[in-house]
Structures are given as C-alpha cells and as structure tokens.
Amino acid sequence: MIELAIKRKTRVLVALDPAAPMPSALEALTTLAADLSPELIGLFVEDANLRRLCSLSCVREVSMDTGIERGLDLGLMLNQLRVQRLRMERLLARAARQLRVPHRVEVIRGELVEELLRAAALTDLFLVGRASGMAGARSWMGSRLHELVGTVPGTVAIVHEPWRIGHRILVACDGDAAGRAALTLAARLAGSERVELVVALGDGGLSSAAKKAGLMATLARQAPLVDTRWVELGQLIPERLATLARGEQARAVVLGAGDPGAAAQMVEALLQKLCCSIVTVRPPPGAGSSGSAEGS
C-alpha cells in the first residue's frame, strides 16, 4: 500500500519569506496537512551576506519614491525584518490553531541557502509561497525554487498566490513509485478541495492499460470518492503538461520526484509557463523508481 512520506514524518517547514505573500501558502497548508498531526515549523533566515553588505560604504540604497540615495542602515534594516517576521509569525500561529497542532519559529543567522537546506534536510513537507508579479516570483530570498526541488529530500509545495486560482488538480503519472505517491497526494488534495482530479498518463514503462489499471487500484484504496478524469498525454514534457494545465485551469500540478534532477528541470520550465501551484513528491523510502503499478 502506498503511504506518503508526510504521513510517516510530521515535520512541516514553512519558509517565512519577507519578499513573498504568505496567507495563501498557509491556506494550502491546511489542505496539505489535513488528517495529519504535524509539528509546524516556521523558518526565518537572517542573511549574513545582507549584514555584510550593510557594513560596506560603497553600497547605496535608492528610494523608489524619491530617487534619493543613501547608505544602508543596518539598524533600520533589522527593524524592518523584525516587523515582517512578527507579522508572519502571527499568520503561522493562526494556521497552527486551525490545524490544532503545535508550532514554533526558528530564526537563524547565517548563509541563507546553507541554513535553508540544513533545516529542510530533516523536514518531510517544505512549503513556500510564490509571489507572481514580484521580483521573488521564482526565488526564495535568493534561492531559485527549482533548485529546492532538486535538493530538499521531502515533498515540496510551491504555492501560488492566490491558492484557489484554478478549478482542478492535475497530476502527472508514469506508473512508477514516484508517480503513485504523487497520485495519492493529488487525490487527497482534490478530495479536500472538492475539485476534479485530472490524471495525465505518460508513455514510459508499462503499457497504458496496465498502468491505468494499477493507478485506478491505488485510487480505489486511497480516494474512492474523488471525481477523476484520465488523459493520455504521451511524453510528460513541460510543453505538453503546461498546455494541459492551462486548458484544465489547474489549481495545482503534482509531480513525482523519483529523479530529483529531472523533477527540478521540469519545475523550472513549468514555473516560467504557469501561474498555479506546483507540488513535487518523493517516493516512499524503500520504493523503487520504477516497477509495477501496484504498491507494495
């Protein structure tokens, strides 16, 4: 039987990014973490490089409103970050109350990407908001989001603002262990959100009929009441998947990440083509990247 990794570990890490909105990310969290009893962790990293920049006399700040140039003020910058952090902590606490789970906030000072990955290494679900139309649309405080998919060892949810922008959950499946794990999570999302599930079948591995039969068996066990539609997509490539997602008005695209490098490349391409949430799912520990369509 397929079991999601986030059911075995309950550490949920939320990136507290001052450059991106947060309410929709936490709205999605209440769906992703439904029926779990997670420990909710908010991560806020004070970038050591930003502190060093403030100490350099050659670095100047230019006001967008007045055009006035001035040196960076470390005290002012830290106060602004503190105000943002406190606002995000309140939002995180509200989400924890809705889920009725414990939560805590970790404030870390150091090299941003290193600290992020160190914290995420012990995390099963990593969630970050995506601010469309802003400079941070495809980055989290300097780290490109597709790179996180390739390095974070758990499930990664890149949540679009707003979360409920589309009407369906789209999942790409090749019939392997990662695809079955993605299908299980996508079905749970569709059921919680009360929307249709669209399954895009790739042409790798087993025959289409055998693959669909195995995936239907997975759905029958995990989410028998979810309204599901099947689409033969052929090659699971970014162009075809993006076209299907736009046509279906997808709220989220769910991908298996059995090959983290390939998943990162897929996410990089989709982020440039789509304005919806993207979730990547690693297969359960011990499951092969390929095999029969049936779970063990």
DSSP string, 10-74: -EEEEE--TTS--HHHHHHHHHHTTT--PEEEEEEEEEHHHHHHHT-TT-EEE-TTT--EEE--H
pLDDT at residue 133, rounded to an integer: 52
pLDDT at residue 59, rounded to an integer: 61
Work out the mean pLDDT of the chain and round it to a whole number: 78
pLDDT at residue 131, rounded to an integer: 66
Task: Determine which helix (DSSP H) or strand (DSSP E) holds 170, and give its type and residue range.
Answer: strand 168-173
pLDDT at residue 66, rounded to an integer: 64
pLDDT at residue 5, rounded to an integer: 44
pLDDT at residue 246, rounded to an integer: 96
Q: Write the DSSP assignment of 105-119 as a string of letters.
A: EEEEEE-HHHHHHHH
| Measured distance CA(74)–CA(72) in Å, rounded | 6
Asked if residue 52 has pLDDT above 80, the reply is no
| Measured distance CA(87)–CA(281) in Å, rounded | 30
The predicted-structure confidence for 72-88, as pLDDT tens digits, reads as follows: 677 777 787 788 788 88
Average pLDDT over residues 96-100: 81
Contact 119, 16 (CB under 8 A): no
Asked if residue 169 has pLDDT above 60, the reply is yes
The predicted-structure confidence for 220-262, as pLDDT tens digits, reads as follows: 888 888 999 999 888 889 999 999 999 999 999 999 988 989 9
Average pLDDT over residues 179-185: 90
62 pLDDT tier (thresholds 50, 70, 90): low
159 pLDDT tier (thresholds 50, 70, 90): confident
Average pLDDT over residues 174-180: 85
Domains of the chain, each with CATH number or no CATH: 5-160 (3.40.50.620), 168-281 (3.40.50.620)
Average pLDDT over residues 15-26: 68
| Measured distance CA(195)–CA(186) in Å, rounded | 11
Asked if residue 293 has pLDDT above 50, the reply is no
Count of residues for the chain? 296
Q: Which of 109, 126, 130 is nearest to 117 (CA)?
A: 126
pTM above 0.85, yes or no: no
pLDDT at residue 290, rounded to an integer: 44
Average pLDDT over residues 193-217: 81
Contact 170, 254 (CB under 8 A): yes
291 pLDDT tier (thresholds 50, 70, 90): very low
Asked if residue 19 has pLDDT above 60, the reply is no
Taking phi first (over 0 means left), then psi (-120 to 50 degrees means alpha), and beta for anything else, what does residue 209 get? alpha
pLDDT at residue 287, rounded to an integer: 60
288 pLDDT tier (thresholds 50, 70, 90): low
